[in-house]
Amino acid sequence: MIDFYGLSDLLRVGEGFPDDVVQKHTSASATEAIWVNGTSVFNDGGPITRYPERAAAANPINYINSNTPPFLIMHGTKDTIVSPRQTEILHQALLQKGIDSTYYSINNAQHGGDYWMQPEIMKIVIQFLDKHLKG
């Protein structure tokens, strides 16, 4: 499995960011809240914390088990959309369950963009795939 700057615990999306950003993630209009709870136009809506059981059901870290494949996780140090804490949480959860996980913190990379298509990044991805798919 390859994870570029992904989410792992929706109740902690803002963790690691300045307080003003953390507060934005408590809004009913935060992306993670809309994904899980929908909008108040069509249903109850609300912040991500309104229905913790729904958030838990959407958290990838809650599905790690003995069948989980090896992970390559990468996150940029300049990401202002998803906190690098999200991929650190996933990496630690995988290791705690005995799953092979490799984590790269990419200096100065933001969330998405051309940087992620650089030859250095693609080389790491190809080596990971070769190792785990070709044997």
- 87-133 pLDDT, tens digit per residue, is 999 999 999 999 999 999 999 999 999 889 999 999 999 999 999 99
Nearest to 52 by CA among 18, 10, 16, 103: 10
Residue 114: count of CB within 10 angstroms of its CB: 7
Write out pLDDT tens, residues 5-25.
Answer: 999 999 998 889 999 888 888
Instruction: Give the CATH architecture of domain 2-134.
Output: 3-Layer(aba) Sandwich (3.40)
Encoded amino acid at 35, one letter: W
Rounded to whole angstroms, the maximal C-alpha distance in the chain is 50
3-state SS assignment for residue 4: strand
What string of DSSP letters covers 62-103? GG--TTPPPEEEEEETT-SSS-HHHHHHHHHHHHHTT--EEE
Encoded amino acid at 110, one letter: Q
Give residue for tokens 């958290």.
59
